[in-house]
Chains A and B, each alone.
Chain A
Amino acid sequence: MLTVILILIPLAISLILLTIKQEKAIRQFALAGAVVEFGVAVAAFITYKTSCHCNLLFTADWLTTLGVSLKFGMDGISLLMVMLTTFLVPVIILSSFSHTYSRPSAFYSLVLLMEMALVGVFVAFDGLIFYIFWELALIPAWFICAVWGGHDRIRITFKFFIYTFVGSLFMLVALIYLYFRTPLPHSFDFQWLYAATLTPAEQTWIFIAFFLAFAIKVPVFPLHTWQPDTYTAAPAAGSMLLGGIMLKMGIYGMIRWMIPICHQAVQLYAPVAIILAVTGIVYASVIAIRQNDMKRLVAYSSIAHVGLIAAGVFALTPYAMEGAVIQMVSHGINIVGLFIVIDLIEQRTGTRSIRDLGGIALKAPRLAIMFMIILLGSIALPLTNGFIGEFLLLLGLFEYSKIFAAIAGLTIIFSAVYMLRMYQRTMLGTTNGLTEQVSDLTWPEMVLFIPLVVMIFWIGLFPGMFLDVALPDVLQILNFVK
């Protein structure tokens, strides 16, 4: 039942928000709702039993003739994704308070709607329901970017919409085709879909369809060109939702749906996918070195980081898969932190251009410390969250192929290069006209960082809790490819 509540709370709040007029009330209500949602997720986490997913399972009939049922549930992987989502949304809402958005009720309503769709994606145990939530998530994301975004937003978000939507259509076709290959009576239930009998050729086609849908969302090189523009044009909250949570839908989809359903094709084409992902790591890292817009730099760094996650997923080894799951969480936390830092700098100086900034650490030492901690997580320094994920991912990838691991490992060098360059040019050095008047973090702004910093060290120091939750289900998924 908790699972359904997790979907209903954001939906209800989203609808109620539309009726509120006063901006302050809207903000408070949105934040309170998101916090309650997180509380429920924590409750689910506590009551969750690794051995059986029964207490979080919910089934109700719906479109029985088609074999579609409202089946929601959570295994360890879903649970971590839901935790990530519900943890980040309050932070994102809080970070939006410093902006005065036009039509605030619509804005916050869309954020909550987005949360509902994201949670839905992660808890759907029925293929069609999964698809519905998947597409549903795109709508608020697109509105947030297109209405409240920055320069050239219409062209950019249109491309984003079409690109990801086309990818999703391939998935829809694949799902329908699969449906007719499921044992009688046909059903979209995930276990039925897992049990679909497919010829090798069919596997290949379904694999390609799924891969397009998921890889565009992640995005995996070379399907990534919508991403830097969209992250840059989106409002701060939009970038955070996209980079922090939405791209995990793609990775999650690969793990939950693609690997079990077309396991033979996955094994066959894994090298291709890994080559693409590893190419993307190096390619995006090298591009990030020379970026001048902080958001764009982070966008490219994100392509590199998720490239490593994708490579780990296709390595099909337990360590890499565990690394992928934990790194999805860590990446979400770190990228949201980075976008918050960038947002605060932009609010204070009016620019995100690296070459126009400098010396901020002199004026805002607290901001400098927060930025440094998040940066360290992002470049995977041991004892931060990023290290656990990248260590496991590279270890798992190493078991698959030593060469690929060595090339993918370049990310630890490159990430230091571009991240430290960004830090140096913006925070260090002497102040200039733009940064002269920068003020340090206020206490409400500090509150924004505290949960993120706590999680960076929590995962970095005591990853056991998170690793253990996901492990049985990771092994179960990997059973399909044994």
Chain B
Amino acid sequence: MTLIVLLIPLFPLLGFLVLGLGFRAVPKKWATVIGTGTVLLSFIVSMVVAFNLRYFAATLPGFSFDWISIGPLKIPFAFLIDPLSVVMLLIVTGVGFLIHLYSVGYMKEDPGYNRFFAYMNLFVFFMLLLVLGANYPVMFIGWEGVGLCSYLLIGFWFKNREYNNAAKKAFIMNRIGDLGFLLGMFLIFNTFGSMSFGQVFAQAKSMPAGSPAIVAITLLLFVGAVGKSAQIPLYTWLPDAMAGPTPVSALIHAATMVTAGVYMIARSNILYVLAPATMTVIGITGLATALFAASIAIFQNDIKKVLAYSTISQLGYMFVGLSVGAFTGAMFHLTTHAFFKALLFLGAGSVIHALGGEQDIRNMGGLRSRLPKTYWTFLIGTIAIAGIPPLSGFFSKDEILLHVFEYSWPMWKFAVAGSLMTAFYMFRLLFLVFFRDFRGTEAQQHHMHESPPVMTTPLIILAILAAVGGVLNIPEIFDGGSRLSAFLAPVFADAAAVTAHQVPLPHSTEWLLMGITLAGVAGMVLWAFNRYVRKQPVLLPDSARRSFIPNLLTKKYYIDELYDFIIVKPLDRLSTFLHDVVEIRFIDRIVNGVGNMVVWTGNTVRFIQTGNVGFYMFIMILGIILILFLNILI
């Protein structure tokens, strides 16, 4: 079994090596087989591992060799297979495979076809390391590695300067978070003398809640999560990351990489439940991000940007779930989100593909009849994310909302407000793209076509998953088995023991909360329908004057401009100042000054060497007198 686990990341790594080293020499047909096949193989092996874990053993023996080892510092290259990592494995390889398959069609005409699959395979490899790592440093390898692949894939079309800037921005913002992660690891080592999950968590269990070291550790790790999972204040890279090919947005910037922060916190659950202060910070950050991003999404006109802000917002929900101790809820939402958001992105890709690269929803409309498969699958994704039963998003979001309600009533109100916004912007998107008449050019109308089966098949599979994914964890109120909760329970057992057991809410309250949320969502859908389908939609060009709030939201609260003003520009100016003034006019001038002084002294002293013996005698006597005087004085 040990070796089989090893195969999971090995397949995509081999795929990367073959495609990367072979480069253009590998024929396209083979690149397709290697690129997608390796991920499929990983998925199959992951299934085998999952099956074994489910029915035979709680944890599989990991595989391990010492990566860094100095005295007490031991960092084995070890993997951990437990229910939590298995859930992630299946998402990464399963959804990953579907997206790879889709890419075969989407990237067909691209000259960088092989390079694309090489990067994608490398990404899957690093993502699997991140998920499988049995200690923080191995997780960090994956953590930074996926950041690199994200950089390479956002800037995949590297002729475009804007895209390159987006890629660089993503990497740097991620690195800011990574510094937090790194320092968090150091503090973990300092506190526990180890960085392995097993040893750290075992020791942490016996520590009192709220101890400063654990609060500091969890906060530092959370900084890492903020960067990777695009939360306030480090979220601005994710909308820009849409510069990458659409399958990349689906895989990296929706389904997998950006959820790494959620996974990391769920993995460290015992540390987090012992740090209530951190949990509050996470809750506030997550909720603020969820609302903030959702409000921006309402006013965006780029199909991918809407989805990007939606992703940020949904990640915010997951963090809110984590902050109230609903680890299973967060992981459940992570899973269903992977299904429906990958689906939505791939659907958007299909639309973009059909319209020859058009991304502005103001120039779309009426695609329902021309792209039926895309439409139906996109519709399912929209219903799922809006949280309408019985699709998956309803169950996962409801689980988080329920826990939030138990924790804090005002927080619940905000969270519901966010989910209403979600319903609105998603149906706005759906209606503007697929309903009424086409608003694009003649040429686009003529060129428009449904995507080939290699692209629509993943859409259909994902649509099925998005539709029925809820069965993973149907709550008790619907006579469901809460299977995911039961499956993940061993991982979260210690955390559950720490958090006080609350009396479960009466069913009547649960029904009431659900009813309120659903009524709101229904209202939002109707409102969007009224605005964008029943009436002629009002679509302002970018240059149009808007009133204050719509303008603020269209311009994304001017956050990019703000960062530019308070960080980027001052740093540039500081750089110039340090070089031109401090370096050249100050430090170097002192150095040269010392040098010149030596030369000057030399020149001056030379005049004293007159060769006149009388003069020397005079100086000597003067010196003796001086010494005598000094002797008396001191």
Contacts and interface: CB of A to CB of B under 8 A. Distances in A.
Contact of B575 (A289, A365, A398, A471): A289
Contacts of B70: 318-319, 322, 392, 467, 471
Interface string A71-91: 000000000000000000000
A319 B591 CA distance: 35
Contact of B168 (A222, A398, A424, A463): A424
Contact of B158 (A225, A361, A464): A361
B179 A409 contact: yes
A409 B182 CA distance: 9
Nearest to B163: A428
B155 interface: yes
Given A391-B68, A471-B70, A409 B183 contact: yes
A261 interface: no
Contact of A464 (B66, B176, B574, B588): B66
B10 to A, nearest CB: 14
Contacts of A291: 579
A412 B173 CA distance: 11
A21 interface: no
A92 interface: no
Contacts, number: 120
Given A394-B186, A420-B168, A430-B159, A290 B179 contact: no
Given A381-B144, A429-B159, A287 B183 contact: no
A34 interface: no
Given A395-B189, A412-B179, A290 B172 contact: no
A416 B171 contact: yes
A383 interface: yes
Interface residues of B, number: 49
Contacts of B171: 416, 420
B168 A405 contact: no
A287 B575 CA distance: 5
Describe A's contact surface by its main secondary structure. Answer: helix
Given A359-B159, A429-B161, A413 B571 contact: no
A78 to B, nearest CB: 19
Contacts of A421: 168
A377 B171 CA distance: 15
A306 B190 CA distance: 25
Contacts of A424: 155, 164-165, 168
B140 A382 contact: yes
Contacts of A409: 179, 182-183
A419 B582 CA distance: 23
Nearest to B142: A382
A385 to B, nearest CB: 12
B463 to A, nearest CB: 37
Interface in B60-77: 66-71, 73
Q: Which size bracket describes the interface of A in this complex?
A: 35 or more
A362 interface: yes
B150 to A, nearest CB: 13
Contact of A287 (B67, B158, B179, B583): B583
Contacts of B179: 406, 409-410, 412-413
A421 B165 CA distance: 9
Given A388-B68, A416-B175, A381 B148 contact: yes
Given A225-B583, A398-B190, A399-B190, A417 B172 contact: yes
Nearest to B24: A365
B450 interface: no
A162 interface: yes
A354 B368 CA distance: 49
A286 interface: yes
B58 interface: no
A151 to B, nearest CB: 17
A290 B572 contact: yes
Given A225-B587, A376-B148, A412 B182 contact: yes
Interface string A307-333: 000000000001100100000000000
Given A225-B583, A388-B68, A428-B158, A405 B186 contact: yes
Contacts of B71: 318, 471
Contacts of B321: none
B578 interface: yes
Contacts of A376: 148
B277 interface: no
A394 B579 CA distance: 26
Contacts of A464: 66-69
B159 A413 contact: no
B69 A290 contact: no
Given A286-B574, A383-B141, A412-B178, A222 B587 contact: yes
B571 to A, nearest CB: 7
A162 B168 contact: no
Interface in A401-445: 402, 405-406, 409-410, 412-413, 416-417, 420-421, 424, 427-430
B283 interface: no
Which of B178, B189, B575, B595 has its CB near the most chain A CB atoms (within 10 A)?
B575
A458 interface: no
B184 to A, nearest CB: 11
Contacts of B69: 464, 467
Contacts of A388: 68
A376 B161 CA distance: 21
A163 interface: yes
Nearest to B112: A365
Nearest to A380: B144
A467 B68 contact: yes
B441 interface: no
Interface string B133-162: 000010011001100100100010011110
A186 interface: no
A289 B179 CA distance: 19
B164 A428 contact: yes
A394 B190 CA distance: 13
Given A365-B23, A395-B189, A290 B579 contact: yes
B123 to A, nearest CB: 14
B68 A382 contact: no
Interface string B201-244: 00000000000000000000000000000000000000000000
Nearest to A410: B179
Interface string A40-64: 0000000000000000000000000
A283 interface: yes
Contacts of B187: 398, 402
Nearest to B147: A381
A360 to B, nearest CB: 11
Interface string B304-319: 0000000000000000
A391 B179 CA distance: 11
A394 B575 contact: no
A181 interface: no
Contacts of B141: 382-383
Nearest to A226: B591
A24 to B, nearest CB: 33
A362 B159 contact: yes
B576 interface: yes
Contacts of B148: 376, 381
B583 A290 contact: no
Interface of B: 23, 66-71, 73, 137, 140-141, 144-145, 148, 151, 155, 158-161, 164-165, 168, 171-172, 175-176, 178-179, 182-183, 186-187, 189-190, 571-572, 574-576, 578-579, 582-583, 587-588, 591-592, 595
Given A286-B574, A322-B70, A383-B145, 17 more contacts: A286-B571, A286-B578, A318-B70, A319-B73, A362-B159, A382-B140, A382-B141, A395-B73, A398-B187, A409-B179, A412-B175, A412-B179, A413-B179, A421-B168, A424-B168, A428-B158, A467-B70
Q: Which are the 6 A-B pairs with shortest beta-carbon distances?
A: A290-B575, A382-B141, A398-B186, A428-B158, A225-B588, A289-B575
15 contacts: A286-B571, A287-B575, A290-B579, A291-B579, A318-B70, A382-B144, A383-B141, A398-B186, A398-B187, A399-B190, A424-B155, A424-B164, A429-B160, A430-B159, A471-B70
